[in-house]
Structure 1
């Protein structure tokens, strides 16, 4: 049985749990979850906030919605539930939505509701980081442990590749092109396989 390795912001996998009732679907993250390597979380919903809900941003140490109401307690409650869930599942890595007041790992909106970004972490991201979690976003793509590049029959490895296999834990997925690998994938090791010349 496959064991999940990541907590994943549910909106990235297509769940319509954003404040406006929409998703932030990301194909690569959704595939990871579909393969069984990610468990979905939404700290804001887990903290008791509704879908849809009034947009929230951080203002100092508080989280305030656009109507001026303080939602800090809900954000903190959701973050604590996420941490507890991760510990129950033995997970120490998370793929989180960029810029979110809950999940942003490097930047968040500045609290002016003008879409201006500042350096900082969302409430949940900050709690996970403080507890030793490895944090990634949908943009950093650190998802694959092993990548195997294979040349086609009768072609030497140095002449080009026509298939790419990436291992997410125990599963292998075949992609038709290897070109995106250099810029789009981070992994622990790369294995090159070449069939003999015919």
Structure 2
């Protein structure tokens, strides 16, 4: 069975980000994978019932998605609201969808407290990036799904194509 790719809906052009915007990723591989039926789009936050737009959120105290999942850090909105439960639910929804649809790879937008895979923000709402991953990226990786950011599209292409080359025909 052909491996599928879970992808942040905002990268597919859906206006689902916290600010009501999209961040469409244009790349020939995206077009090819779309034609092959490999892409499975999700906005984890929307899957957990969060609205669009919504207040910006960050993981408090420089914590990571793994910390959120372990109950060691919270996800807080800039307005002070605690959305930790929603982000944990979002991560669980993304993992369930990935499993249901045979996604062995994920292409997630970096910086998000949910989807960030290389960097997130430091929890002070100052725009300061720190190395780390969001809750969804952490849960997917912990369950054996290879996670890539939009900046790593070429590495994802190599992995997907490499797996396809190994598959029995």
TM tier relative to shorter chain: 0.7 to 0.9
State the match for 1:176 in structure 2.
Answer: none
Alignment of 1:65 with 2:77, yes or no, is yes
- Secondary structure of 1:68's aligned partner: coil
State the match for 1:188 in structure 2.
Answer: 162
Point out where structure 1 has 5 or more consecutive residues left out of the alignment.
147-167, 169-186, 190-198
More strand as a share of residues = 1
**Contact 2:117-2:133 within 8 A present in 1 as well:** yes
TM-superposition CA deviations, 1:144-191 (whole Å, max 9, x none): 369xxxxxxxxxxxxxxxxxxxxx7xxxxxxxxxxxxxxxxxx539xx
- Secondary structure of 1:82's aligned partner: helix
Say which is worse superposed, 79-88 or 134-143, in terms of deviation.
134-143
**Contact 1:12-1:26 within 8 A present in 2 as well:** yes
CA RMSD after TM alignment: 2.1
**Pairwise CA distance, 1:3:** 4.8
State the match for 1:31 in structure 2.
Answer: 31
Q: Which has the larger radius of gyration?
A: 1
TM-superposition CA deviations, 1:98-132 (whole Å, max 9, x none): 11110011210001111101111101001111111
**Contact 1:33-1:39 within 8 A present in 2 as well:** no
CA distance in 2, matches of 1:9, 1:47: 14
Point out where structure 2 has 5 or more consecutive residues left out of the alignment.
64-72, 164-169
Going from structure 1 to structure 2, the CA distance change for 1:32 and 1:49 (only over 3 Å counts) comes to farther
State the match for 2:86 in structure 1.
Answer: 74
More helix as a share of residues = 2
State the match for 2:66 in structure 1.
Answer: none
**Contact 2:3-2:104 within 8 A present in 1 as well:** no
State the match for 1:177 in structure 2.
Answer: none
Among 117, 124, 132, the residue aligned to 2:144: 132
TM-superposition CA deviations, 1:41-69 (whole Å, max 9, x none): 11111111101101101113110001001
TM-score (normalizing by structure 1): 0.69
CA distance in 1, matches of 2:46, 2:114: 11
Bigger RCO of structures 1 and 2 (CA < 8 A, at least 6 apart): 2
**Contact 2:6-2:103 within 8 A present in 1 as well:** yes
